[in-house]
Chains A and B, each alone.
Chain A
Amino acid sequence: MTSKYPGPRVRISRDRNLAWWRRILPVMASHRATFLLAIGLSFLSLVFQTLVPNMLNGAIDHDLVRHSTALHSDVVRILIVGLLAGVSGIVSRQYVFRTAYNVEADLRSLIYEHLTWLSFGFYDRVQSGQLISRANSDIRSVQMYSTFAPLILVQCCIGVLAFGFMLSISPLLACIAMTVMPILYFVGIRMRRVMFPISWITQARLADVATIVDENVNGVRVVKSFAQEEAEVNRLADAAERVAWAYVKDAQIRGKWSPWVQNLPQLGLALVLFFGGWMVIDGHLGIGAILAFNAYLLMLQAPFMMLGQLVMMGQRARASAERIFEILDETPEIMERPGAYDLADVRGSIDFDHVRFSYSDDAEILHDFDAHIEPGESVAIVGRTGSGKSTVARLVTRFYDVDDGVIRIDGHDVRDVTLPSLRDHVGVVLDEPFLFSISIHDNIAYGRPDASPEQVEAAARAANAHEFIERLPEGYGTVVGERGYTLSGGQRQRIAIARTLLVNPPILILDDATSSVDVHVEAGIYEALNRLLAQRTTIVIAHRISTIALASRVLLLDEGRVVASGTHEQLLASTPLYAEVLAQSTKPEED
């Protein structure tokens, strides 16, 4: 049953002025073969179905009332049409579902791919939980609609066919029977207008509940430490109350409209009985026609009821599509310039040329940051909290772009080179050591998936992680987070360091990368690093003097600019501020 999934062939339309379904259309169109087959066959199947009431009408009037034809030949014909309707129906639905699920898979892949390329600025703004919920239910509702809407429209075509049969039996009765349908249509329109906002409000409130749960689960330690379970339960209860109101409102609005949608066809049947009966009495109509009209109206009821459902699905789908577009319309802030070239044979000089930077709307973090780092040099960046140290690390790899000024590697503006080549040459160990729920081996080999076990082990040794990994129940095969094998912050940091070391970048940035590691372990790591760093440009952002001591030069950062540069000793001697920053740690007030 497994067939290979090749991934999406097209993207959605970039034109934001198009209606939502037209933006999705290219995805649908890329499956047009199966889709058209599905539509064609289901049309055929429905035609066979519509034939049946007319055949029954004829059979009753000719065979049973007037005894003019033989019963058995009509029976045989109906049986054959039934078989054809069934077979074509089965085949058509196969294709319907195939289209539907391929479209869904395409949308899922498109969103994932798009998210993958978005910049850090985006992730600073949005909550991942909300993205996941979109990727789940919103895709579902768009896919449902975009696939089933055309099918329901096919059913409506059948409605036209059925109406044609009714006209051929009795134009007058057909018109009377159809009077309810326009009303049905207007009720549907009105319903669309009132249902849409409430379904939106409901979804927004459900998302609030999800956020509370998510925070509660992730912050469980804090909740328990502060014994705030009761406050949390009440916080949830308030949110749940708002959801409950939205659901009640939703039901009230639906209750006001949907019974009419469902019962208007019954009114049509009543009209058929009354007027049709009258016409039978007057001899203008056979009794079989009553049966056929009944059947046709019931047949019409399905598409019209589905039209109501379609209206609701459409509301959901549109809301969902809008939220999906919000993601897909988000352009990566960090993009390669046209003509970007690969960074190669990096020697490792880094220039910060009058760099200015701020995170979105926040205050400027770096004002006129200016520094030059020689190939092979190791530099420590020291400064107070909020002085912009970590920001420097994030700019070199273009996780963010500078607002003004230039950063150059070997004289190349980082914005002129391709992103993969840049990030391949600049390795960053981030202050938050995120590990994936894959084996430790795979985590270390994350940037070099083809690395051999020996290479992985060597990196782990350099990061002083080999020993504790060996002690884990399944060594390098231990899956992070599984069966409660949780790692301490220091252990995670060491794996994160090994991960970067394995890539072996000519420029290495350690952003507070050993803050949770034991002091003696840290010493071991730096001993190993000292060997590795010999040929490598290194930027160390650190709080500990032990770490700072590793660097051959120190940049003192204050208020977003370099205020002093030199060896540790020079700065101690020359710059009171450096002494002050360090002194604050070396001289906690006397007891």
Chain B
Amino acid sequence: MAWGGGWSGGGAMFGSSQVAGLPFGGIPSELMDEATKLLAHEPDHPPSDLTFTQRPSERERQRLTLARLIGAYPKWVVSGSVLVIVTSLILQAGPLLTEYAINHGMVAGHRSLGVVAACGIGYLVLALASALLQRVQVDVTGMLASRVMHDLRIRVFTHFQRLSLDFFTDEKAGVLMSRMTSDIENLQQLIQDGISQFAAQGLTMIVITAVLFWLNATLAAWTVLLVVPLLFVISIWFHRASEKGYLLSRDRIANVLADLSESLYGIRVVTANNRQRRNIRNHRHVVGAYRDANLYTGRVNSIYGPATIMIGILGQGLLLGIGGDMVLKGHLSLGALVAFFLYLNRFFGPIQLLVQQYNALQQGRSSIIRLRELLEVPPTVDEVEGATELATIEGRISFEDVSFGYDDEHLVLRHINLEIASGESVAFVGPTGAGKSTMAKLANRFYDPTSGRVLLDGVDIRTVTLRSLRSQLGVVPQEAFLFAGSIRSNLSFGRPHITGAEIEEAIDVVGLRDLVDRLPQGIDTVVHERGQTLSAGERQLLALARAFLARPRVLILDEATSSLDLQSETTIERALDRLLEGRSAILIAHRLTTAQRADRIVVIDRGGVVEMGTPGELLAAGGAYAAMFDAWLASGGRDSTRPDDEQTD
């Protein structure tokens, strides 16, 4: 067997467009033929053409309920329900036919082959009919489930896009992931099988009870009285206990996965620190706790199942005692007693299936609740009602008495007033935690000021649409994030329909030509999630090129040069001239080389502007910046005394 086939190839065809060619993208080769045959019949799905608006539509604002979700497809819901009802009824005709055949065709005095034959053939026909109907029903519910889940996936994901940056902390990443995967897949199962099963089995029980009472009310009353209260009690116990166990094991599997995921993402540190054995021991504890939670659930389940079977057999015994007595006394026909036994058998199956499905329902319900809670989280940075499009800006940025804190207690910025002229480049310098990056995050509305206003060309940025605002601001963050995909697709991220010539130009401008020429597939080389194909510096250069290609009116470099090596930094410095041409820019820099290039330097410390002026002015003034610059020179050795630094003196 060729397990190895899974390591390469076949990815693109099975939908892994962006991970094509990567490991784990393939299908075991022995299945290839059958799968290819299936996929040959797959129609071309037209590319989606959805529009995204920051403000949700009326429909998207509705509370998420299962009823609303499936209600969007009334035709399928109705036909699915009808099919479920009809098949459940048909399936329960068997014992009645048997009763009729016994009483009117088999017992002494009523022997008739015709009646027996008619009943047998009738039974046969009904079984065939129910098979056909079930087939249609599976199709319909499958269609319903996949459409509903398709809608829900898009709806939840769209909501992610609306949420503000503060929501996307590291700890929430896993949560968001499981909402989009396991919760939605739970619901898929629920709609496809769960609900219809639940309805079918519930209906079966009702039908059977009715038929039993119709056959013989006294015996039916006995049966129901003996069996139902007991089942009821044990079911309630089971529901409570299994819910408790379910929650427990859900929490603990989350711990297992969190531990695993951290170990994988931090594998390099784990290895470098020889922590493997210790981590393995620790993982065993976490896995052990998860196993114990499962064992609890297992105990609950192992009592419930056999206990119901036991109740069933005891019920049959008592039915034999009571019903047999009634037959002996002539109060009940033998056929009816047989029918009672047959129905009693069929009574327990559905109850067990109902219980089986109960877990699925339970999970589906809590998935719905979790998704609803998520969908009801409002973005902290939102568009106002009737936000306008920000026209193409000159690039004048004003901070008007801006204060900001990530929480209510600690203000990071206090009463900042700053005006950046269009075309001007301003460097923010200052110690870590002074609030430099925060200023940048306020400018493109990753956050809103606690008080004060940020204006672009005199327009309060809270009054315009986020898209029109952000598409005019280009941000290069400190840690370059690249999407799995080719260099080309990463570069064209901001403008998907960009031409090849523009990409080539950008590569030259930021100095990536060497890299691209070195890579085997050049610009179409796939960059991996955390792969080592690219160095931190190279990733940063790509991020710069990406920002360059988006043609922003204002460029914000948030410590974008910090992880560059000497040479890349030089390349960037050179490229900055091109990048900044005709644009306003905010340069946040630890490295004063970058700062020295700016038209103006703003020194920020403890949330306030300490100093402001051209590099020359500040050095001459001998204030905070001059002191920082001296420290920079001292630590950098004499070689950092740069010719152009001296010129500015």
Judge: A and B partners, yes or no.
yes
Majority secondary structure, A binding face: helix
Nearest chain B CB to A12 CB, angstrom units: 13
- Given A209-B180, A588-B597: 15 more A-B contacts, CB < 8 Å: A71-B325, A79-B314, A82-B312, A85-B310, A86-B310, A96-B302, A132-B261, A224-B446, A225-B474, A244-B146, A244-B149, A270-B94, A281-B113, A386-B514, A447-B275
Neighbouring B residues of A71 by C-beta, 8 Å: 320-321, 324-325, 328
The yes or no answer to B345 lying at the interface (CB within 8 A) is: yes
A123 to B268, CA, bound (A): 9
Contact B3 A326 (CB under 8 A): yes
Contact between A278 and B639, CB atoms less than 8 A apart: no
Task: Answer yes or no: A168 CB below 8 A from chain B CBs.
Answer: no
Q: Which of B279, B306, B342, B467 has the most CB of A within 10 A?
A: B306
Give A67-101 interface residues, CB cut-off 8 Å to B.
Answer: 67, 71-72, 74-76, 78-79, 81-83, 85-90, 92-94, 96-98, 100-101
Cβ of A4 within 8 Å of any chain B Cβ, yes or no, is yes
Question: What A residues does B276 contact at CB under 8 A?
Answer: 116-117
Chain-A contact segment, one of B34-42, B57-65, B211-219, B419-427: B34-42
**Most chain B C-beta atoms within 10 Å of own C-beta, residue among A250, A323, A385, A586:** A385
- With an 8 Å Cβ cutoff, the count of chain A residues facing the other chain is 222
Contact of B529 among A113, A128, A200 (CB under 8 A): A128
What are the residues of chain B within 8 A of A59 when measuring CB–CB? 320, 324
**In the complex, what distance in Å separates the CA atom of A215 from the CA atom of B530?**
12
Residues of B close to A78: CB separation below 8 A: 313, 316-317, 320
Residue of chain A at shortest CB distance from B308: A86
Please determine whether A206 and B171 come into contact, CB atoms closer than 8 angstroms: no
Contact A520 B97 (CB under 8 A): no
Whether A153 is near chain B, meaning CB under 8 Å from some CB there, is: no
Within 8 A of A (CB), among B276-304: 276, 278-280, 283-285, 287-292, 294-299, 301-303
The reply to whether B563 and A281 contact each other, CB–CB distance below 8 Å, is no
Q: Report 26 cross-chain contacts, Cβ distance below 8 Å, ordered by A residue.
A: A64-B337, A71-B328, A83-B310, A93-B303, A116-B263, A135-B260, A209-B181, A219-B483, A222-B483, A224-B444, A226-B493, A266-B123, A281-B112, A326-B24, A359-B533, A436-B266, A437-B262, A486-B169, A488-B433, A489-B479, A490-B590, A512-B536, A515-B562, A543-B566, A568-B639, A588-B593
Judged by a CB distance under 8 angstroms, whether B134 is at the interface is yes
- Asked if B538 lies at the interface with its beta carbon under 8 angstroms from chain A, I say yes
Per-position 1/0 for B245-262, Cβ under 8 A of A: 000000001001110111
| Separation of A34 and B34 alpha carbons in the complex (Å) | 39
Q: Is the CB of B268 within 8 A of A430?
A: yes
Instruction: Using A90-B302, A90-B303 as known contacts, say yes or no to A587 and B341 having CB atoms under 8 A apart.
Output: no
Interface size grouping (class) on chain B: 35 or more
Chain B residues in 8 Å Cβ range of A468 = 432-433
- List, in ascending order, chain A residues with CB within 8 A of B173's CB: 214, 217-218
Tell me the nearest residue of chain B to A232, going by C-beta. Answer: B161
Write the chain A residue with the least CB distance to B528: A124
Check A335 for interface membership: any CB of B closer than 8 A: no
Say if the beta carbon of B439 comes within 8 Å of chain A: no
Distance, CA A123 to CA B446, complexed state (A): 32
Per the bound structure, the CA–CA distance linking A212 and B6 in Å amounts to: 21
Q: Is the CB of B289 within 8 A of A2?
A: yes
In the complex, the answer to whether B559 meets A101 with C-beta atoms within 8 Å is: no
B617: interface (CB < 8 Å): no
Assess A270 versus B123: contact at CB under 8 Å? Given A128-B529, A210-B177.
yes
Find out whether the CB atom of A269 lies under 8 angstroms from the CB atom of B123. Answer: yes
Q: Which of B395-403, B450-458, B501-509, B630-638 contacts A (4 or more CB under 8 A)?
A: B630-638
Closest 9 CB pairs of A and B: A251-B142, A274-B120, A86-B310, A97-B298, A5-B288, A89-B306, A93-B302, A82-B313, A277-B116
B258, chain A: closest CB distance, angstroms: 8
Across the two chains, which residue of chain B brings its CB closest to A45? Answer: B306
Q: Could you tell me the dominant secondary structure of chain B's interface residues?
A: helix
Given A221-B165, A227-B471, A546-B640: A247 and B432 within 8 A (CB)? Answer: no
Bound: A521/B181 CA distance, A: 43
Give 1 or 0 for each of A178-201: 1 = CB within 8 Å of chain B CB.
000000000000000110111011
Does A217 lie within 8 Å of B168, measured CB to CB?
yes
Task: With CB as the reference atom, state the residue of chain A lying closest to B123.
Answer: A270
B621 CB-CB contact with A under 8 Å: no
Contact B165 A112 (CB under 8 A): no
A290 near B299 with CB under 8 A, answer: no
> How far apart are B549's CB and chain A's nearest CB, in angstroms?
10
Residue pair A127, B529 in contact (C-beta under 8 Å): yes
User: What chain A residues lie within 8 Å of B264 (beta carbons)?
Assistant: 115, 123, 128, 131-132
A481 & B591 in contact (Cβ 8 Å cutoff): no
Kindly identify which residue among A295, A325, A545 contacts B345, using a CB–CB cutoff of 8 Å: A295
The answer to whether A516 touches B562 (Cβ under 8 A) is: yes
What separation, in Å, do the CA atoms of A585 and B573 have in the docked complex? 9
B50 pairs with A234, CB closer than 8 A: yes
Residues of A within 8 A of B267 (CB): 115-116, 118, 120, 123
Distance of A74 Cα from B106 Cα, bound (Å): 24
From A157-165, A257-265, A344-352, the one touching the partner chain is A257-265
